[in-house]
């Protein structure tokens, strides 16, 4: 397809097209909640058939990816007002475009993902002295010494942790506590019921492989404090909190049901020194 860029990714990594599509769709609405010109540009250059996603994906799932991006942006913006030269680590970044939306001209931003994803990213993004790529799994602790942690550290993970087993995530958080005391983490989680819903309504309906199913479901983020005494919950809230204004009553009801059932939530924790 001419100069189109083909995706050569593992099955889990291929799920990166889902939130990318969600942000691009939102950007083309008459009254978008989020405008992501970079997502539109990337999709325009990709050799990928989005027809299955477009046909089968629910409007709730599409809005969830947008809401998640907005929550991430808001959290980073609050953090860098306090720590203007902070280090932001984007775990499992996929084709995320957060840096383009939140850069204050001073932060150091690391996009971290598996080698095949980073190779793909480099076709669309360019590293520079404040924006760097880390080509590895976030579970590989070798990357920790490469990151500057002198002026505040915030780790973000959007659509990442629930693809792993709870023990892997718990061990990772303890490793973060050992390396980055005083840091904060902001991420999305699925409840056990949310894992079942996502595997059927997102992974299956989106045409993804069964090997990309979600695994970890979290009933309440407060239980994470039991993993290590240094982990302290700042806040936990449903993904559509503050996001229902401007929609029809029918759509508001759908978003409310999703929140009441705790299908997806945002979690913010701090690592105490």
pLDDT, tens digit, for every residue of 152-164? 999 999 999 999 9
Read off the CATH number of the domain in which 132 is found: 3.40.50.150
- Per residue in 115-150, pLDDT tens? 999 999 999 999 999 999 999 999 998 999 888 788
Nearest Cα neighbor of 22 from 33, 31, 8 is 33
The parent domain of residue 40 ranges over 5-271
Tally of domains in the chain: 1
**pLDDT value of position 24:** 96
Model confidence pLDDT, tens digit, residues 191-200 = 999 998 888 7
User: Edge-to-edge, what's the strand order for the sheet holding 131-135?
Assistant: 131-135, 108-113, 87-91, 153-157, 184-190, 264-271, 231-238
* pLDDT of amino acid 146: 86
User: For the purposes of burial, counting CB atoms within 10 Å of the CB of 210, is it exposed (0-12), middle (13-18) or buried (19 or more)?
Assistant: exposed
- Regarding beta strands 153-157 and 87-91, do their DSSP bridges make them parallel or antiparallel, or are they unpaired? parallel
What CA–CA distances, in Å, run from 5 to 53, 67, 123, 134?
19, 28, 8, 21
pTM value?
0.93
């Amino acid at each position: 397809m001419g100069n189109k860029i083909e995706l050569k990714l593992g099955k889990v990594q291929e799920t990166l097209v889902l939130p990318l599509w969600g942000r691009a769709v939102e950007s083309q609405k008459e009254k978008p909640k989020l405008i992501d010109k970079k997502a539109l540009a990337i999709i325009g250059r990709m050799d990928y058939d989005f027809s299955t996603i477009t046909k089968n994906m629910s409007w709730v799932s599409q809005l969830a990816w947008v809401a998640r991006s907005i929550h991430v942006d808001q959290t980073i913006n609050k953090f860098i007002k306090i720590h203007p030269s902070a280090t932001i680590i984007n775990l499992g970044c996929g084709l995320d475009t957060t840096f383009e939306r939140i850069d204050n001209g001073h932060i150091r931003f690391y996009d971290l993902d598996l080698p095949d994803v980073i190779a793909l990213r480099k076709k669309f993004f360019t590293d520079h002295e404040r924006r760097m790529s880390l080509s590895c799994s976030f579970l590989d602790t070798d990357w920790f010494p490469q990151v500057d942690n002198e002026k505040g550290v915030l780790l973000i993970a959007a659509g990442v942790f629930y693809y792993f087993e709870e023990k892997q995530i718990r061990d990772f958080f303890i490793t973060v506590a050992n390396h980055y005391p005083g840091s904060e983490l902001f991420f999305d989680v699925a409840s056990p019921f949310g894992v079942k819903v996502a595997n059927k309504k997102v992974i299956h309906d989106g045409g993804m492989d069964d090997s990309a199913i979600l695994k970890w479901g979290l009933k309440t983020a407060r239980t994470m404090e039991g993993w290590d005494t240094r982990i302290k919950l700042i806040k936990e809230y449903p993904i559509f909190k503050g996001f229902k204004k401007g929609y029809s009553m029918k759509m508001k009801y759908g978003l409310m049901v999703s929140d009441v059932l705790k299908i997806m939530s945002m979690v913010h924790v701090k690592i105490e020194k």
